Amino acid sequence: MPRSHSRALDRWNQSRRGSLDSLESVHSTVTGGRRGRQYATEQLNLALFVSLAAEFQGYCRDLHDDAAFAFTDRIGSESDRWTDVVRSALVRGRKLDQGNAHPSSLGSDFQILGLDLWRRVHVAYPNRGKKWNESLTALNIARNAIAHRNDAQLAAVKAAQPLNLASFRRWRRSLDGAATGFDNVVGAYLTETIGASWRT
């Protein structure tokens, strides 16, 4: 019986969500739920955003893998040499393996599979699609400022959006919705294109 969603979404909802939950738990333990500008609190806040960006990038890469496997499964068995060749071609040079899960990177990578991801997302989710795009863009700007220790960029990010626990939770909720939305869009495209969605 075909799966109703990807393995990537299972992983997002289980192990990736668990990792983010653990970080929130550590944050709560260290800060005691107190507000303030304690150094430890600020460093933990920054770590939350980097981790959220990393986990969502991992989810998107997993989703692309699942879609590539769905295509190549239509060619032949997993031991078939042609299957390996085609699968390798579908993921070679993938931007998700080299940089952030920026909206433009996602669009480029899924275009390799013939899918105009963002157009279909905006058609399927006309209100939420724009918000997901904006959240992902803002998160990656924040992530880059933190990871590269770009103080000027980080100051600009903080001026536009405080990098605190409340902001993290808001972006996380948005990306939770995006994960399910992307899964639905990619699954529908696979069904339409190859007559099947996710591997059993």
Phi–psi pair at 65, nearest 5 degrees: -55, -50
Number of domains in the chain: 1
On whether residue 161 sits in a domain, the answer given is yes
- For residues 27 and 82, give the distance between their C-alpha atoms in angstroms, rounded to a whole number: 48
Question: Does 12 fall in a domain?
Answer: no
The residue segments making up the domain with residue 186 are: 19-194
Q: What is the model's pLDDT at position 76?
A: 65
Q: What gap in Å lies between CA 98 and CA 117, rounded to an integer?
A: 19
Residue 199 lies in a domain: no
Residues 66 and 146 sit within 8 Å (Cβ to Cβ):
no
Within 8 A by CB and 6+ apart from 95, the residues are: 102, 105, 108, 109
> What is the pLDDT, as a whole number, of residue 3?
67
Q: Is residue 144 part of a domain?
A: yes
pLDDT given for residue 171 in this prediction? 95
If we measure between CA atoms, which residue out of 141, 128, 112, 143 comes closest to residue 176?
128
Whether residue 200 lies inside any domain: the answer is: no
Assess if residue 96 is contained within a domain.
yes
pLDDT of the chain, 200 residues: tens digit per residue: 456 899 999 999 999 999 999 999 888 787 765 655 566 688 889 999 999 999 999 999 999 999 998 988 877 655 677 777 888 888 899 999 998 999 999 999 999 999 999 999 999 999 999 999 999 999 999 999 999 989 999 999 999 989 998 999 999 999 999 999 999 999 999 999 988 777 66
pLDDT of residue 36: 52
* pLDDT confidence of residue 42: 84
Q: What is the C-alpha radius of gyration for the chain, rounded to an integer number of angstroms?
A: 18
Q: Is residue 97 part of a domain?
A: yes
- Determine the Cα angle at 130 with ends 129 and 132, to 5°: 65
Say what the pLDDT of residue 109 is.
97
Q: In this structure, is residue 11 part of a structural domain?
A: no
pLDDT for the residue numbered 10: 96
